[in-house]
Amino acid sequence: MSAIPQRSFNDVRDALLSKREIAFLDVREEDPHAQRHPLFAANLPLSKIELDAFTKLPRKSVPIVLLDDGEGLAERAARRFEALGYTDVTLLEGGLKGWERAGGEVFRDVNVPSKAFGEFVEAKQHTPALSAEAVDALLKSGEDVVVLDARRYDEYQTMNIPGSISVPGAELVLRARALAPDPKTRVIVNCAGRTRSIIGTQSLVNAGIPNPVAALRNGTIGWLLAGQSLAHGSARQFAADDGLANTESRQSARAVADRAGVKRTTFADAQHWAEDTTRTTYRFDVRTPAEYEHAHAAGFQGAPGGQLVQETEMFAPVRGARVVLFDDDGVRANMTASWLAQMNIDVYVIDDATSVVLTEQGPWRGAKPQPAPTPAITAKDLATLLDDPASQTIVLDFTASANHVKGHIPGAWWTVRSRLALDLPALPDAKQYVVTCGSSALAAFAGPDVAALTSKPVLLLEGGTAAWAAAGLPLAKGETHLASPRIDRYRRPYEGTDAPHEAMNAYLEWEYGLVAQLERDGTHGFFVI
């Protein structure tokens, strides 16, 4: 088998600086990725390449550069990409250590380009902010204040500022005038930490909202560190028609987009670009998930605008690609595009949007390769099999570790697909294996791996663990039967309701240092309007 070509630190850096297309990918699991990685190295774990590659890397000839930290994952990933038909696959010379030896800056955490951009915006724009203590005093004084939570609705429901309303990022400029019609009403924008409250607040400022606006400094982290209580399970949301008829919001959003250098396009051009084999084009629908699932245009992935700005490298990992945005209101796409443009992304908004093109329903269903066939077993037949100890059947669960903890088939072992060779030998002897995950989508690709490593029969659970639960069969809970370490997800210091204060303070200190890191790295090309 021929050696996989390598690309040097200087070559990758030159591509980033010149805006030549590059898919710079860290193929480790999310937790090791979050410990240290180059700024624009997007995380695409080896374990999930088949599930995500065709959506995240829609052009087969895109230049791909893979890195790991010496574990051998990058070479395995390269072979997998080649098997999927990608034609320009290389390894980063020396991996992560080679990047560091060459003087490359490394960053901690996830979604770092977006978080660093938020800090850059605040530093340049001096985005107005109020402390948790000041906001709490305003609320208790009975002053005319509305608090808008810019996170996803599920994050808001986990914990929120008491009395706040869920208005995810891209909805803010569209909805704020309806939610605070009196220009004297003070508007406070919050998220869990800093990025989405900074971007949300600055969006309202840029769009000329007449109300006094401020970010809640340090978000719910700052609120907790100030000793104040959060609400849980809240359900206050904007009304579906809030702001839709507001001409002023549309005009101001378009003006902001124009100032940022956002380009205009049509559905026909976007379709033509999607078929172009010489350049990557992403097409995103930035409306709410409910609107997207009700009706959307074929080929457009759902990417709520606030999250697209917050997790840009996860939605569009090809740096230098073209990004096309759609909405049906003239506000959300323009505001989202204004931020992507300032992040040095070539971004377009579709101008001839009509409901005629909204021909698809349901969630995004990205193209995937066909897995090698694995014999199937139903949930009821598996239950019968597991009742017989003589069958020596071991169930391997490839779902997210958090899902395994919430509920798994009793006795099932949770494992990371890329670690099978390391972790399978430590499990009890088996005559056969059954593979599953939430839906069995990932397990379908893992099954042949297990068969190749063990030379034992392998069965695929039809419908995955969801089918097991739907059949009324029991589920076990908790961190039991973990064959692999829980490295598939990095625990954010701001998530959940039990984060230690030390972790929250450390996270804030890290965010404050991102602007200096950006300067040392020097590849970002960010600007503000």
The secondary element (H helix, E strand) that includes residue 436 is strand 432-436
What is the distance of C-alpha 508 from the center of its chain? Answer: 20
One-letter amino acid for residue 144 of the chain: D
Low-confidence ranges of the chain (pLDDT < 50): none
* Helix, strand, coil share (%) of the chain residues, nearest 5: 40, 15, 40
- Residue range 117-240, CATH number: 3.40.250.10
Q: What is the pLDDT of residue 499?
A: 65
Q: If you ran DSSP here, which 8-state letter would residue 81 be given?
A: H
Of residues 194, 191, 111, the one with CA closest to residue 511: 194
451-468 pLDDT, tens digit each: 999 999 999 999 999 999
DSSP, collapsed to helix, strand or coil, labels residue 47 as helix
3-state secondary structure of 146: strand
Class of domain 263-357: alpha beta
**pLDDT attached to residue 504:** 83
Question: Burial level of 190, CB count in 10 A (0-12/13-18/19+)?
Answer: buried
Integer Cα distance of 254 and 264 in angstroms: 11
Domain 6-109 has CATH 3.40.250.10: yes
CA-to-CA distance for 477 and 210, rounded, in angstroms? Answer: 51
Residue 178: how many other CB atoms lie within 10 Å? 16
Superfamily of domain 376-470: Rhodanese-like domain (3.40.250.10)
Reading the block at residue 109, the tokens are 């955490």
Nearest to 490 by CA among 27, 152, 33, 24: 33
CB atoms within 10 A of CB 269: 15
Same CATH fold, 376-470 and 117-240?
yes
Q: What distance in Å separates the CA atoms of residue 72 and residue 50, rounded to the nearest whole number? A: 18
Q: Containing H/E element for 515?
A: helix 514-521
For residue range 99-153, what is the model confidence (pLDDT) as tens digits?
999 999 999 999 999 999 999 999 999 999 999 999 999 999 989 999 999 999 9
Query: E strand or H helix at 101, and its extent?
Result: helix 95-101
Beta bridge partners of 7: 92
Task: Tell me whether residue 128 is exposed, middle or buried, using C-beta atoms within 10 angstroms of its C-beta: 0 to 12, 13 to 18, 19 or more.
Answer: middle
Are 39 and 113 spatial neighbours (Cβ–Cβ below 8 Å)?
Answer: yes
What's the rounded Cα separation, in Å, for the pair 379 and 385? 10
Query: What is the chain's Cα-based Rg?
Result: 24
- C-alpha distances in Å from residue 109, one per residue of 30, 185, 404: 9, 36, 23
Q: Three-state SS for 92?
A: strand
- In eight-state DSSP terms, residue 406 is H
Terminal alpha carbon distance of the chain: 51
Strands of the sheet containing 186-190, edge to edge, are: 129-130, 213-216, 186-190, 145-149, 165-166
Tens of pLDDT, residues 471-491: 999 999 999 999 999 999 998
Helices (H), 265-374: 267-274, 289-294, 305-310, 312-315, 332-342
Q: Where are the domains of the chain?
A: 6-109, 117-240, 263-357, 376-470
Q: What is the pLDDT of residue 415?
A: 98
Between CA 41 and CA 111 the distance in angstroms is 10
Alpha carbon distance 490, 49 (integer Å): 18
pLDDT in the model for residue 183: 96
Check residue 318 and give its pLDDT: 98
DSSP string, 214-282: EEETTHHHHHHHTT---B-S---B--TTTTTT-HHHHHHHHHHHHHHT-EEE-HHHHHHHHT-SSS-EE
Q: What is the pLDDT of residue 243?
A: 86
**Cβ atoms of 371 and 444 closer than 8 Å:** yes
